Chains A and B, each alone.
Chain A
């Protein structure tokens, strides 16, 4: 090989690499030195990386690195730190009464923010992401509450649930008057129409209102109260208002009366810490339906 420093291309005046193909020579145009140095530095750096950090996949596991670093452990530490940072704020939330939280703008903002995220994680599957509910799952934005809409009542429902199996849960269910043979089908149709009349809705032509009232008085008043105003102690809905959990048309009412209803709300005590449950109660109350 020719010493390329002395081999100068006569046209360009530059030195060549000395490599020749069919009389064509390659000009020696090296990469800038700073570039080459940076390239070697990155190689050296990567070796350090292999040693210090988890890097090489093995058959069953991977190399763990010198300091036992893992990003998962980092996340755990970060989360713990976050809890610590938020600790006194959440403690303040836990210490304050529900009414005080609503009065204090800072605590209210914290409770609403916390409540919103926890709601999204835990409640949204049934009640919807905006708490608008669905058939059988109450809309928490409105002012109709099966078990009461005050701050304390909402918190109690979240804590213990409804028909959840918890010792302090709300109990009470709509019986299956048709399935259990208590009422005959024509009686069910009659009482369904009677209930619609209570809510000011249209009724089937020629339905016997007196008979409906009688059936209602014998079977339904115990829970739904005189005139169907409902009873929050038993979770019995108000049948005279404009809000219907399972629908207000005749077919829906017939189904409800025949088959009964017993929606379940899980108890969140034990799954969420008390401060979080408090935040949730405030959040749900602030959706607008709270009393």
Chain B
């Protein structure tokens, strides 16, 4: 027969526990110290950039958008300060993504999940939401007390809750609002949105991002990191023994005992640890773990437990950094009485840095040397060739000229391949019969139908390669494309 026990009294063995545990609300305590200050500064930078970047202006001349960072979907242009990218240059984004991924690897091999702890949007916004919560409802103990309170319907409590959620929603709404500003001229869009003249899609996106920010930063919080985010799993495969993770230095922490007892035991010359079991590291933890149990998947390496522990160590007159960025190798070395060694430069970090430098360098190089004039040619497939009444052969091509520069360009087209060719661009009266000149407006493409006719004599019976040269007749900038000239 089964014993009848209260499920609440049951403790699950950590190793055999389920992959999913019922949610326990985490009440992180406020803390001050080095890492908290770093986090505040990074939060200010990240949010400042995110919220205000759309309002930065950049003069690109008349008619062109004057927003520094703009994703202009209707016109298929991406503007980033002095860089203007076209859809066919989407590989720059691929490069950027690769660099970002390798940069994550590099961060991981140097300092573990520092991305998670300091820069991840989930962390940044959750931290902001915690700050609001603390400001209104008080610190850890007060919040726990209020949540347990049997009388949640007191006016004061209700007004607190309403206020908290209103501020959360306002932050979330601003987050969604800033997002859409990257896709349209920010000041104009703000005016339109306020007067309810904005495009429906903008309101929809604001709604989606308001909801996701509110839910993810207000409710899901650390659960995003433990259950939804793949990064904790991936980073386990990327980390190595030299990576600096937030580590409890058990070599000087154990055995744990009270301050008073520790002093007594030390006086007797016995070995005791610095940890006084004050649980401050647990109280401040965003993911509700005990760092003293060793490296854990839930740990986002934010370093707040280091601050909390340092504060306690200072108070009890022990050296700081009982918890610190360290690795197991050094703990073992200290236990053996050797000096710890730190290896930031090692094969892994060199390779990652080299990859970043190579791809980044290549991107900068191609960006700096890319042509602002381009030509694409597509041969007519049906019919591939036409025989004219005098027996000469004509091939038709669709030619796309791309003028990525900020000014109109007069482009001359030359063809090389068939003997004695004549060219005609549909809709254009050529001054010279074999060299049409077309004006391409700035920052645009023109699709032309180009007919190349060659007398049958001297031209081969089969396909021959043909090369189209296009040249800006004013500046001499040139580009070319190859195709084939086919006989019927």
Is B390 a contact of A15 with CB atoms below 8 Å?
no
List chain B residues, Cβ under 8 A from A130.
380-383
Is B396 a contact of A141 with CB atoms below 8 Å?
yes
Secondary structure at chain B's binding surface: helix, strand, loop or mixed?
loop
Is B390 a contact of A13 with CB atoms below 8 Å?
no
Is A128 a contact of B386 with CB atoms below 8 Å?
no
Q: Which of B374-429 contact A (CB under 8 A)?
A: 380-383, 386-391, 394, 396, 424, 426-427
List chain B residues, Cβ under 8 A from A71.
none
Cβ of B451 within 8 Å of any chain A Cβ, yes or no, is: yes
Interface size on B, residues (CB 8 A): 26
- Which A residue's beta carbon lies closest to that of B441? A105
Cβ of B4 within 8 Å of any chain A Cβ, yes or no, is: yes
Distance from B227 Cβ to chain A, minimum over Cβ atoms (Å):
11
Q: Which of B434-466 contact A (CB under 8 A)?
A: 446-447, 449, 451
Query: A238 CA to B5 CA in the complex, in Å?
Result: 106
Cβ of B3 within 8 Å of any chain A Cβ, yes or no, is: yes
- Which A residue's beta carbon lies closest to that of B382? A130
Is A7 a contact of B387 with CB atoms below 8 Å?
no
- Which A residue's beta carbon lies closest to that of B439? A105
Is B3 a contact of A139 with CB atoms below 8 Å?
no
Cβ of B195 within 8 Å of any chain A Cβ, yes or no, is: no
Distance from B48 Cβ to chain A, minimum over Cβ atoms (Å):
35
Cβ of B10 within 8 Å of any chain A Cβ, yes or no, is: yes
Cβ of B7 within 8 Å of any chain A Cβ, yes or no, is: yes
Query: A133 CA to B390 CA in the complex, in Å?
Result: 18
Do A10 and B387 form a contact, CB below 8 Å, given A102-B427, A288-B396? Answer: no
List chain A residues, Cβ under 8 A from B49.
none
Distance from A16 Cβ to chain B, minimum over Cβ atoms (Å):
8
List chain B residues, Cβ under 8 A from A141.
383, 386, 394, 396
Is A14 a contact of B2 with CB atoms below 8 Å?
no
- Which A residue's beta carbon lies closest to that of B386? A141
Is B394 a contact of A288 with CB atoms below 8 Å?
yes
Is B390 a contact of A7 with CB atoms below 8 Å?
no
Is B7 a contact of A288 with CB atoms below 8 Å?
no
Is A10 a contact of B2 with CB atoms below 8 Å?
yes
Cβ of A143 within 8 Å of any chain B Cβ, yes or no, is: yes
List chain B residues, Cβ under 8 A from A10.
2-3
Do A139 and B386 form a contact, CB below 8 Å, given A102-B427, A286-B449, A288-B426? Answer: yes
Task: Choose among B10, B386, B427, B447 the residue that contacts A103 (Cβ–Cβ < 8 A).
Answer: B427
Is B383 a contact of A132 with CB atoms below 8 Å?
yes
Q: Which of A97-151 contact B (CB under 8 A)?
A: 102-103, 105, 108-109, 112, 128-130, 132, 139, 141-144
Is B382 a contact of A8 with CB atoms below 8 Å?
no
Secondary structure at chain A's binding surface: helix, strand, loop or mixed?
loop
List chain B residues, Cβ under 8 A from A25.
2
Cβ of B12 within 8 Å of any chain A Cβ, yes or no, is: yes
Cβ of A62 within 8 Å of any chain B Cβ, yes or no, is: no
Cβ of A61 within 8 Å of any chain B Cβ, yes or no, is: no
Give the total number of A-B pairs whose CB atoms are below 8 A apart. Answer: 77
Cβ of A60 within 8 Å of any chain B Cβ, yes or no, is: no
Is A242 a contact of B386 with CB atoms below 8 Å?
no
Query: A15 CA to B10 CA in the complex, in Å?
Result: 11
List chain A residues, Cβ under 8 A from B382.
128-130, 132
Is A242 a contact of B391 with CB atoms below 8 Å?
yes
Cβ of A241 within 8 Å of any chain B Cβ, yes or no, is: yes
Do A243 and B383 form a contact, CB below 8 Å, given A13-B10, A108-B427, A288-B394? Answer: no
Distance from B445 Cβ to chain A, minimum over Cβ atoms (Å):
11
List chain B residues, Cβ under 8 A from A7.
2, 4
Query: A68 CA to B383 CA in the complex, in Å?
Result: 49
- Which A residue's beta carbon lies closest to that of B11? A13
List chain A residues, Cβ under 8 A from B380.
130
Task: Choose among A14, A105, A241, A286 the residue that contacts B390 (Cβ–Cβ < 8 A).
Answer: A241
Cβ of A6 within 8 Å of any chain B Cβ, yes or no, is: yes
Cβ of A9 within 8 Å of any chain B Cβ, yes or no, is: yes
List chain A residues, Cβ under 8 A from B10.
13
Is A142 a contact of B389 with CB atoms below 8 Å?
yes
Which has the most chain B C-beta neighbours within 10 Å: A13, A112, A139?
A13
List chain B residues, Cβ under 8 A from A139.
383, 386
List chain B residues, Cβ under 8 A from A143.
388-389
Distance from A52 Cβ to chain B, minimum over Cβ atoms (Å):
21
Query: A241 CA to B389 CA in the complex, in Å?
Result: 5
Q: Which of A73-119 contact B (CB under 8 A)?
A: 102-103, 105, 108-109, 112
List chain A residues, Cβ under 8 A from B12.
13
Do A243 and B387 form a contact, CB below 8 Å, given A15-B7, A109-B447? Answer: yes
Distance from B479 Cβ to chain A, minimum over Cβ atoms (Å):
21
Query: A287 CA to B383 CA in the complex, in Å?
Result: 10
List chain A residues, Cβ under 8 A from B427.
102-103, 105, 108, 286
Distance from A250 Cβ to chain B, minimum over Cβ atoms (Å):
20
Is B389 a contact of A286 with CB atoms below 8 Å?
no
Task: Choose among B387, B394, B396, B449 the residue that contacts A242 (Cβ–Cβ < 8 A).
Answer: B387
Distance from B428 Cβ to chain A, minimum over Cβ atoms (Å):
9
Which residues on B are within 8 Å of A, measured CB to CB? 2-5, 7, 10, 12, 380-383, 386-391, 394, 396, 424, 426-427, 446-447, 449, 451
Write 13 A-B pairs (CB below 8 A) sorted by A numbering. A7-B2, A8-B3, A13-B10, A103-B427, A132-B383, A132-B386, A141-B386, A142-B394, A238-B389, A286-B427, A288-B396, A288-B451, A289-B386
Known pairs A108-B427, A139-B383; list 14 more (Cβ under 8 Å): A7-B2, A8-B3, A8-B7, A13-B7, A14-B7, A102-B426, A105-B427, A112-B426, A130-B382, A141-B386, A142-B386, A142-B389, A144-B389, A288-B424
For the complex of A and B, 6 pairs with smallest distance between CB atoms:
A130-B382, A241-B389, A132-B383, A13-B10, A286-B426, A141-B386
